[in-house]
Amino acid sequence: MVSLNITIKAFITPVGSASARRADLISAAQAECIFQATTAFADSSGSPTSNASRFQRALQQLEGVASEVLIGTGEPRLDSRLAAASGAAHLFVISSDADEQLATLTRRQLEADGAEVHGIFRENELSDALVQVQAQSERSPKIGPELFELNLLRQAKAKRAHIVLPEGDDDRILEAAHQLLADDVCELTILGDPEDIKKRAAENGWEITTANLANPTEGDQLEQFAQDFFELRKHKGISIDDARATMQDISYYATMMVHKGLADGMVSGAAHTTAHTIKPSFQIIKTAPGSSVVSSIFLLVMDGVLWAFGDCAVNPNPTPDQLAEIAAVSAHTAEQFGIDPKVALLSYSTGTSGSGPDVQAVADAVAKAKETFAAVQFDGPIQFDAAVVESVGQKKMPGSTVAGHANVFIFPDLNSGNIAYKAVQRTAGALAVGPILQGLNKPVNDLSRGATVPDIVNTVAITAIQAQS
């Protein structure tokens, strides 16, 4: 994925009474201080969307910092996340014994949550600490939901794809379009009544004048699409009148736009079922060469963790051959979004520790995957704990390059996959991006009917990336 252009090596949080000595710290550390108060990034509405947006703006502001040393907000948790996202060492600076007690307690709390604090230093120790930090090798930024989303938008922007949004009668779509166009992420076509769309956008202050607006129920294009659909489906017994009626459906119309090259991809489903969104793709776009099955993955993003889960949305009971194909295409999709894929095909048994038809089906899928897609690292059958915990993985599957290090997880059926991704999303506070459909000739992606505006923005960005990859 696109990297942030950040050169900061040390991120300093003044603790306790040291907070009142920012001017002295700036001088002593030859540092920059761009965040004057934590409240500058607090969200008065309590909206998670707004918090994510503010955090992203803070990350973008870090790119303008000339110094390698930054004095942070003084709010330790926010500073810790910004330091991790920028790849900087996080230092606490104190001025008194009371400060040290507070800093030690705060450090323990942060580290219990998986954060890293480089050390606690008195003001007179700071210069030596910074010399040591700046002499260390470059640290990798730690991925988190906000950094992932920011990178996603930048990667999409570099692609300059054209995405069609058929649900122009949904205000969430128009608000998302406003954000996408404001950031120049992609070109958009929005389907619906153009005058009604313009009116609703103006009433809500959404700027969408650069979008292409089209009415799918009228115009010369509608008749051409009907003729094309008739040619594609006449072997199934449809008439030209049937084709004309079908093409007035927004999903069919938008899918035909993608098929004809008038758009690079489609995003729908905010107000329609998954079947309504993807059925036209099976009939018009069809599967990509070499693909026999359409499947999906979700990207699960937590601080320091980026996983892909598949298939969690499409195939109820894939065969071993289908599982092998889903594993391979999921590895490819995950790679598009910054994952170096290590693919675990999951089961209730690891290796040969258990038996039964369900375990054997996964074992057969692993054998097929390794035979057909030799360039990808696969292993299984494997239990989830053995896939993600190195000590468990090496005990249960010694010598495996995947056990304990997996980041792409293939579930044996839709039941387990859907349950697992929702459990991680809701209990671990993960950002769940998807479902990302894979295996089609051209990208079409489905939204949940409960999709938020950020969900729509992320899905459009993903579709743009898929379209030009």
Rounded CA-CA distance 447/190 in Å is: 16
Rounded CA-CA distance 399/419 in Å is: 30
Would you state the pLDDT for residue 74? 79
Would you state the pLDDT for residue 1? 52
Alpha helices in 239-356 (DSSP H): 240-247, 250-259, 274-284, 320-336
Rounded CA-CA distance 212/188 in Å is: 6
Distances, alpha carbon 240 to alpha carbons 27, 87, 225, in Å: 77, 60, 11
Its CATH architecture, for the domain 10-142, is 3-Layer(aba) Sandwich (3.40)
CB-CB neighbours of 426 under 10 Å = 10
Would you state the pLDDT for residue 146? 79
pLDDT per residue of the chain (469 residues) written in tens, 0 to 9: 555 667 778 888 888 888 887 777 777 777 777 654 344 455 444 444 445 667 777 777 777 777 788 888 778 888 888 888 888 889 998 888 888 999 999 999 988 888 889 889 888 888 888 888 877 777 777 878 878 888 888 889 988 899 999 999 999 999 999 999 998 999 999 999 999 999 999 999 999 999 999 998 887 788 999 999 999 998 988 999 999 989 988 999 999 999 999 999 999 988 887 788 888 998 999 888 888 899 999 999 988 889 999 999 889 999 999 999 999 999 999 998 889 999 999 999 998 776 788 999 999 999 999 998 888 899 989 999 999 999 999 999 999 999 999 999 999 999 999 999 999 998 988 889 888 999 999 999 988 888 889 889 999 999 999 987 6
Structural domain spans, the chain: 10-142, 148-285, 295-439
Would you state the pLDDT for residue 38? 41
Rounded CA-CA distance 459/447 in Å is: 8
User: Are β-strands 265-268 and 444-446 bridged in parallel, bridged antiparallel, or unpaired?
Assistant: parallel
Closest by CA position to 50, among listed 146, 142, 143, 141 = 146
- Residue 41 · residue 35 · CB < 8 Å: yes
Region at 6 (left for phi over 0; alpha for psi -120 to 50; beta for the rest): beta
Q: If DSSP codes are grouped into helix, strand and coil, which group holds residue 466?
A: helix
Distances, alpha carbon 16 to alpha carbons 28, 29, 74, 103, 254, in Å: 18, 18, 9, 8, 58
- The CATH number that domain 295-439 falls under is 3.40.50.10750
Rounded CA-CA distance 233/397 in Å is: 50
List phi, psi (to 5°) of 127: -60, -45
- Residue 166 · residue 262 · CB < 8 Å: no
Q: What CATH topology corresponds to 148-285?
A: Rossmann fold (3.40.50)
- Residue 166 · residue 271 · CB < 8 Å: no
User: Are β-strands 295-302 and 431-438 bridged in parallel, bridged antiparallel, or unpaired?
Assistant: antiparallel
Instruction: Name residue 121's beta-bridge partners.
Output: 93
User: Are β-strands 377-382 and 408-410 bridged in parallel, bridged antiparallel, or unpaired?
Assistant: unpaired
The structure's pTM equals 0.81
